[in-house]
Amino acid sequence: MKALISQRSGPSSFSCNPRVEAEAWLRRTRPKNPAGSVADMSEGVLHWRVRREFLILKIVATLVLATVTVLTLGDLRGALLAGAATVAAAALALRDVLAPVRLSADGEGLVVVKGFAGSERLPWSAIERVRVDTQTRFTSRTEFLEIDTGEGIFLLSRFDLGAPCQEVADQLRSLRRGF
């Protein structure tokens, strides 16, 4: 009976330590099969990264486009178009290889990817607002995690984060209040 009570986690079980509460919330809300793509908490640091499936898809697309480029060498316009598409797909795949982690968070602040493969450290005091920006056009809905520093805005999609933007925003708000 004692073991059953100690395993119970519900509204009546809580801790006075906000950090313990944040970590417990993250454990409860983390998907069962992260596959290296969702919030990964190691040593008090959360990481969100591009899912490996998308990286593999971009590499395969680059190889297919390179094959099309070689096959269309007789047609100058076709080869130029396929070559440009190959370079674009290769650049996207290379960015995912060089900077797979797009967002990290800890008690001191955030590290956000900036530019092609760089990063910028943002202390919590520099962050004015974290919100989810939702745009609807025709039948498609797009969500971006918006991190506003007052001097700049960082936009990250669910493809950058490997998780739904609202979940990431909730985790960031919880982490920010916890420290």
Distance, in Å, from the CA atom of 47 to the CA atom of 111, rounded to the nearest integer, reads: 9
Whether residue 132 has pLDDT greater than 60: yes
Q: Is 120 helix (H, G, I), strand (E, B) or coil?
A: strand
Distance, in Å, from the CA atom of 113 to the CA atom of 163, rounded to the nearest integer, reads: 16
0.75 exceeded by pTM: no
CA atoms within 13 A on the CB side of 44: 10
- In sequence order, the 6+-apart residues with CB closer than 8 A to the CB of 102 are 48, 49, 50, 112, 113, 156, 160, 161
pLDDT tens figures, 95-129? 999 999 999 998 889 999 998 889 999 999 999 99
> Hey, what are 94's tokens?
């290379």
pLDDT tens figures, 23-62? 554 454 444 434 444 455 556 789 999 999 999 999 999 9
Q: Are 62 and 86 in contact (CB under 8 A)?
A: yes
Whether residue 179 has pLDDT greater than 90: no
